[in-house]
């Protein structure tokens, strides 16, 4: 009897183990593998509840979502210049991120949350040309 109870307890405790969210680091850089003024990585695929930590590895950067370029009903964020930002999205979908001071220079990234595909029409005509080029490359890789 004790043996059955111990085995049942073992099965119960291992199947109830909490799933831990992952932590991801995105560096905000003046120069990186993709050129100047970049987020590294530029494309990040995560699960709902994971945390993304934006680190101003070089000064003069921030990270923020772009209005109209996040999943419907999802909350965006706006980080301050030169400060670390934590972002933990719960809504699945594609989030477009920019560095406000360097947006026109193409300092953008994509965070895909969950098992998603690139949505049609995410990148509008209002997006600066350099940023649009990077967005399209990241979305093609998604």
Candidates 3.30.530.20, 3.40.50.410, 2.60.120.1570, 2.60.40.420; correct CATH number of 21-141? 2.60.40.420
| Opening angle at CA 40, ends 37 and 46, nearest 5 | 140
Is 24 assigned a ligand-binding role in the annotation?
Answer: no
**pLDDT tens for the chain, residues 1 to 142:** 444 444 444 444 444 555 677 999 999 999 999 999 999 999 999 999 999 999 999 999 999 999 999 999 999 999 999 999 999 999 999 999 999 999 999 999 999 999 999 888 888 878 999 999 999 999 999 9
Q: Are strands 35-40 and 51-55 parallel, antiparallel or unpaired?
A: unpaired
Residue 61, marked binder: yes
pTM of the model: 0.85
Boundaries of every domain in the chain? 21-141
CA dist list (Å): 91 to 104, 114, 121, 131, 136: 28, 8, 19, 24, 22
């Amino acid at each position: 009897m004790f043996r059955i109870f111990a085995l049942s307890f073992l099965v119960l405790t291992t199947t109830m183990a909490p799933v831990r969210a992952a932590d991801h680091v995105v560096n905000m850089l003046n120069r990186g593998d993709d050129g100047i003024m970049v987020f590294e990585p530029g494309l990040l695929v995560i699960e709902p509840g994971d945390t993304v930590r934006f680190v101003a590895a070089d000064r003069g950067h921030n990270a923020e979502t772009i209005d109209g370029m996040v999943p419907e009903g999802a909350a965006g964020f706006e980080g301050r210049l030169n400060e670390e930002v934590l972002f933990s999205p719960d809504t699945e979908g594609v989030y477009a991120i920019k560095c406000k001071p360097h947006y026109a220079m193409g300092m953008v990234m994509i965070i895909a949350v969950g098992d998603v595909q690139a949505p049609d029409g995410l990148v509008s005509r209002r997006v600066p040309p350099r940023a649009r080029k990077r967005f399209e490359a990241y979305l093609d890789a998604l």
